[in-house]
Amino acid sequence: MSKKKFYITTSIAYTNALPHLGFALELVQADVVARYQRILKKDVWFLTGTDEHGIKIFEKAKEANKTPADFCNEVSIKFRELTDKLNISNNDFIRTTDKKKHWPAVFKLWQKLKIKKDIYQKEYQGLYCVGCEAFILERDLIDKKCPNHQREPEPVKEKNYFFKLSKYSKKIRENIVKNKIKIIPEKKKKEILSFLDKGLEDVSFSRPKEKVAWGIPVPEDKSQLIYCWADALANYISAVGYADQKKDFKKYWPAEIHFIGKDIFKFHTLIWPGMLLSAGLELPRKIFIHGFITSDGKKMSKSLGNVINPFDLIEKYGTDAVRYFLLREIPSVEDGDFTYEKFEQRYNSDLANGLGNLVSRTTTLAEKFKVKPLKSLTEKSNKKNLRLKTEINKTKKKYKKFLEEFKFNEALMSIWDLIGFCDKYIDKEKPWYFDPAKDKEKQKQVIGGLLFTINEIAELLKPFLPETSKNISLKIKFQKTENLFPRIK
């Protein structure tokens, strides 16, 4: 019997700048879900990658005195490195400059939309935000500025190809209302429905080559380049073989879930469903929208000098410590703040003093009294161990619920509640005071029960802290007593 498939994606990172902590958050969140679904025996395909076309990238390459291709190659490699450094379990890494896999899919999708008579050409005058790489309506400006980039958009007048997004407004709304595309969190669903109530306008789907100069040409009209968002969104189908409709595309599409940031959710909940409906393709099942990471209460910005380099964090504190902070400290769908003080406080309290200390003190006792983990916590065990069993079962129930709701911080909190219970259990039972001559069996039950419980904790940690999970299992097996997370002084 074949496994049930599960296709999961992050957004593709824009290569106008090196990786930042916000994209690290998205990678880690998606990785937790991918690893959890593999534990559930699903056939998981996990995609990430880089978005490499558009005006911003062309300008950045020019500033760096490099060709756009060379500039993109250098930045894209850093995003690949980040997936490795964060221990991300992606199956594939797509690049929009990939002329073998991505470009043919974009051409095919364009032709599908054109056959449907959803692509047409017209003169257009509007406001273009280079930061968003999008035309922006005057009603969406705040103090005449783009709300995402705090800069005034440029007035543009040109002849472009347009996509009839307005034609699909009703169908998109219907699919969102009925949760055929489930938008998480609910408040973002309400926000997009409110936006749909105002009515959708058709979208410019190309720009003149003389103005953009870096992108995929429009089929049969080399004077125009395909709008970078029309190109970028197609990555989710190009990566699984849409161009030639081979078995991978039929097997994995539609995506079970797209992970994206809140600054790009309108592209994913409006334009992308419209394109898929026009092409006669199934819609993604879920779209998960996370918030931003601020730095000491302020939005991260190069001009403010407060951008956090994820590579530096990993180098200083280790991969799993960074993964833990992002998943525990940052609420799943809200903005969260980073400071080094918060990071080190969370590290010391939860990892060093919490998990690390529990594993260290239990393996020390096990080594001293020559105790192995119990194989189960059953009725035949010391009755006190049934409390451990009850607590494990309670934790697993909460953990499953929180993970299925994508509440990563709350799933971790449930594990740490179990860690806290184990600490209290040790302090109450005081197995170091047992008389080996009289209480050998009792000692075996208490310490062995704790070792069993810690093994269960290691299993629960697999999607979140994969290396730590593996190290705990090894420490229990070989009774290594050093702390997993040395305290930061």
pLDDT tens digit string along 20-33? 999 999 999 999 99
Q: What is the pLDDT of residues 378-434, one digit of tens each?
A: 766 567 788 999 999 999 999 999 999 999 999 999 999 999 999 999 999 999 998
**Integer Cα distance of 397 and 333 in angstroms:** 22
The mean pLDDT value for 104-113 works out to: 98
- Residue 438 in any domain: the answer is yes
**Integer Cα distance of 192 and 180 in angstroms:** 14
Residue 483 φ then ψ, to 5°: -70, 135
What is the per-residue pLDDT for 139? 77
Question: If you search the block for the tokens 């992050």, which residue do you land on?
Answer: 10
Q: 404: which 2 tokens?
A: 């299925």
- Residue 276 in any domain: the answer is no
Give the number of other Cβ atoms within 10 Å of residue 211's Cβ. 13
**Integer Cα distance of 19 and 293 in angstroms:** 13
The mean pLDDT value for 327-333 works out to: 96
Give the number of other Cβ atoms within 10 Å of residue 405's Cβ. 13
Round to the nearest angstrom and report the end-to-end CA distance of the chain.
Answer: 53
- Residue 455 in any domain: the answer is yes
The mean pLDDT value for 286-306 works out to: 83
- Residue 373 in any domain: the answer is yes
Confirm if 295 and 308 have CB atoms less than 8 A apart. Answer: yes
Q: Does 364 score more than 70 pLDDT?
A: yes
- Residue 346 in any domain: the answer is yes
**Integer Cα distance of 201 and 5 in angstroms:** 35
Q: Helix/strand/coil (H, E, C) string of the chain?
A: CCCCEEEEEECCEECCCCCCHHHHHHHHHHHHHHHHHHHCCCEEEEEEEEECCCHHHHHHHHHCCCCHHHHHHHHHHHHHHHHHHCCCCCCEEEECCCCCCHHHHHHHHHHHHHHCCCEEEEEEEEEEECCCCEEECHHHCECCECCCCCCCCEEEEEEEEEECHHHHHHHHHHHHHCCCCEEECHHHHHHHHHHHHCCCCCEECEEEHHHHCCCCEECCEEEEEECHHHHHHCHHHHCCCCCCCCHHHHHHCCCCEEEEEHHHHHHHHHHHHHHHHHHCCCCCCEEEEECCEEECCEECCCCCCCCCCHHHHHHHHCHHHHHHHHHHHCCCCCCEEECHHHHHHHHHHHHHHHHHHHHHHHHHHHHHHCCCCCCCCCCCCCCCHHHHHHHHHHHHHHHHHHHHCCCHHHHHHHHHHHHHHHHHHHHHHCHHHCCHHHHHHHHHHHHHHHHHHHHHHHHHHCCCCHHHHHHHHHHHHHCCCCCCCCCCC
Q: 311: which 2 tokens?
A: 């590579």
Report the range of poorest mean pLDDT among 49-58, 181-190, 436-445: 436-445
What is the per-residue pLDDT for 217? 97
Q: What is the CA radius of gyration of the chain?
A: 26
What is the per-residue pLDDT for 381? 58
Percent of the chain exceeding pLDDT 70 equals: 98
Report the range of poorest mean pLDDT among 1-5, 146-150, 403-407: 146-150
What is the per-residue pLDDT for 382? 66
Report the range of poorest mean pLDDT among 127-136, 191-200, 252-261, 318-327: 127-136
What is the per-residue pLDDT for 28? 98
Q: Which domain holds residue 349?
A: 340-478
Name which residue leads in pLDDT, 483 or 187: 187
Instruction: Characterize the bridge pairing of strands 5-10 and 43-51.
Output: parallel
The mean pLDDT value for 224-249 works out to: 94
The mean pLDDT value for 86-107 works out to: 98
Give the number of other Cβ atoms within 10 Å of residue 299's Cβ. 12
Q: What's the mean per-residue pLDDT of the chain?
A: 93
What is the per-residue pLDDT for 483? 86
What is the per-residue pLDDT for 145? 83
What is the per-residue pLDDT for 274? 98
- Residue 128 in any domain: the answer is no
Q: Does 481 score more than 90 pLDDT?
A: no
Rounded to two decimals, the pTM is 0.93
pLDDT band of 157, cuts 50, 70, 90: confident
Q: Does 313 score more than 70 pLDDT?
A: yes
* Contacts of 156 by beta carbon, 8 Å cutoff, 6+ apart: 124, 125, 126, 127, 128, 135
Number of domains within the chain = 1
Percent of the chain exceeding pLDDT 90 equals: 80
Q: Does 186 score more than 80 pLDDT?
A: yes
**Integer Cα distance of 214 and 139 in angstroms:** 29
Q: What's the residue count for the chain? A: 489
The mean pLDDT value for 266-281 works out to: 97
pLDDT band of 337, cuts 50, 70, 90: very high
Q: What is the CATH number of the domain that holds 406?
A: 1.10.730.10
- Residue 163 in any domain: the answer is no
The mean pLDDT value for 310-336 works out to: 97
**Integer Cα distance of 20 and 326 in angstroms:** 13
- Residue 25 in any domain: the answer is no
Give the number of other Cβ atoms within 10 Å of residue 210's Cβ. 10
What is the per-residue pLDDT for 309? 94
Give the number of other Cβ atoms within 10 Å of residue 63's Cβ. 9
Using alpha carbons, select from 258, 447, 453, 436 the residue that is nearest to residue 361: 447
Q: Does 300 score more than 90 pLDDT?
A: no
Q: Does 254 score more than 70 pLDDT?
A: yes
**Integer Cα distance of 29 and 405 in angstroms:** 12
